[in-house]
Amino acid sequence: MKSTLITHKDKDFHAVLDMLQKRYFHNGGGPDAEEIWNKNKQEVKEEGWICFYGTNSQVSNLIKRNRIGIKAVRYDEDGAELYYNAKDVKSFYTLVKIRK
C-alpha cells in the first residue's frame, strides 16, 4: 500500500485537504476505525509537529477545526495522517476527563 506525503509548501496541499475533508465527512469508520495521536519528542524538536492518524470523521473534523495548523498530510486508501504544528496542539492529558 503506497502512501502519499504532501507538505504545506506543495501547490496541491489545500486541494488534498479539501479532498480528505470531503472523504471523511460523516464517515463513522465502522468497528475497526482508528484515531491515534502521536507525539514524538524528537519530531517535535526537529520538525515542530505532532501527528494525528485517523480512519473516520475525526480527520474531517480536525481539518475543519484548524486547517492552518496542518503542516503536512500523509494518506492512502485506509486513512490519513495530519501533521500539526506542535504549537497548535494542547497537551494530551487534556483528552482524559477529570474523575475523582
pLDDT for residue 2: 82
If one counts the domains in the chain, the total is 1
Q: Is 81 inside a domain boundary?
A: yes
The pLDDT assigned to 1 comes to: 66
In a domain, 13, yes or no: yes
Flag whether 56 is in a domain. yes
Q: Note whether residue 100 is domain-resident.
A: no
| Residue with cell string 497548535 | 88
Ranges under pLDDT 70 in the chain: 1
Query: Which structural domain range is residue 45 located in?
Result: 4-95
Q: What is the pLDDT of residue 47?
A: 93
Residue 23, domain member (yes or no): yes
- Give which of 68, 74, 62 is closest to 87, Cα–Cα: 68
- Kindly report the pTM of this predicted structure: 0.89
